[in-house]
Amino acid sequence: MDLGISGRTAIVCAASRGLGRGCAQHLADAGCNIVLNGRNEQVTKETAEDLSKRTSGWVKVVLGDVSDPKIQEALIEAAGETDILVNNNGGPPARDFRELDRSNILEGVVQNMVTPIELTKRVIDGMAERGFGRIINITSSSVYSAIPGLDLSSGARAGLTAFLAGIARTVADRNVTINQILPGKMDTDRIRNNIGFQSEKTGKSADEIASGMISTIPAKRFGTADEFGALCAFLASTHAGYLTGQNFLIDGGLNPNAF
């Protein structure tokens, strides 16, 4: 399927590895120009080299923490006119909420709520003026289903979802959409960290924890960054203009709700 976005420019945050990289790869395959953000210089540059081979457009790298206003400015400048924004950021580590202090809480909210709102503010009016825009926020299935230890991450991402819900409706008539993708148990560093947290908490081995997690998933496996990226690219496409203000679970059927 031709996604109709060849030549469009996408900013993909925290995209050197994992789900962000999966999104960047599929957008590159669709012919997008990519502004690639990551913190680790070597890993990010390696990812950029891979993307350059996949896209007919260009790839630019902006290194640093996307929560830093200076890095946000660099992303906007590198993109020029931003057509697609994929908001992604590392979440707070799994931790009992009793261990959190005010500074931890504020940092988590800045990472997973404030930062994507700031970037959205920077690009949304230009998108509306040009008559095309796609904003895709990577949140978490924990917005719907409680995961002990990820309370701060879940709360901040749920706040982002609620904040943008009304905003999405104000620009839909100008072909600008805002949607969220909610990953479940994906084969990423984050789930490996959560497995480690659960292992320390329960005394069970990491393999035991992982097997237990997989047994609860109807698909009987973890999801992949590649299939996550394919969904992201579709939501960025010309075919998804009538989808806005929605939350798309990609969790192998783990969430049992019918609606």
pLDDT band at 117 (very low <50, low <70, confident <90, very high): very high
Q: What is the pLDDT of residue 203?
A: 92
Give the mean model confidence (pLDDT) for residues 56-76. Answer: 97
Q: What is the pLDDT of residue 198?
A: 84
pLDDT band at 193 (very low <50, low <70, confident <90, very high): confident
CA–CA gap between residue 36 and residue 226 (Å, rounded): 17
Of residues 196 and 78, more confidently modeled: 78
pLDDT band at 259 (very low <50, low <70, confident <90, very high): confident
Give the mean model confidence (pLDDT) for residues 36-47. Answer: 97
Q: What percent of the chain has pLDDT over 70?
A: 100
The sheet carrying 9-12 orders its strands as 59-63, 33-38, 9-12, 84-87, 133-138, 176-183, 247-250
Q: What is the pLDDT of residue 17?
A: 95
* 8-state DSSP, 174: G
Superfamily of domain covering 9-186+224-250: NAD(P)-binding Rossmann-like Domain (3.40.50.720)
The domain ranges of the chain are 9-186+224-250, 188-222
Q: What is the pLDDT of residue 20?
A: 97
Average predicted confidence (pLDDT) for the chain: 95
- Does residue 238 register a pLDDT over 90? yes
Neighbours of 202 (CB within 10 A): 11
Is 46:17 a contact under the CB 8 Å cutoff?
Answer: no
Q: What is the pLDDT of residue 9?
A: 98
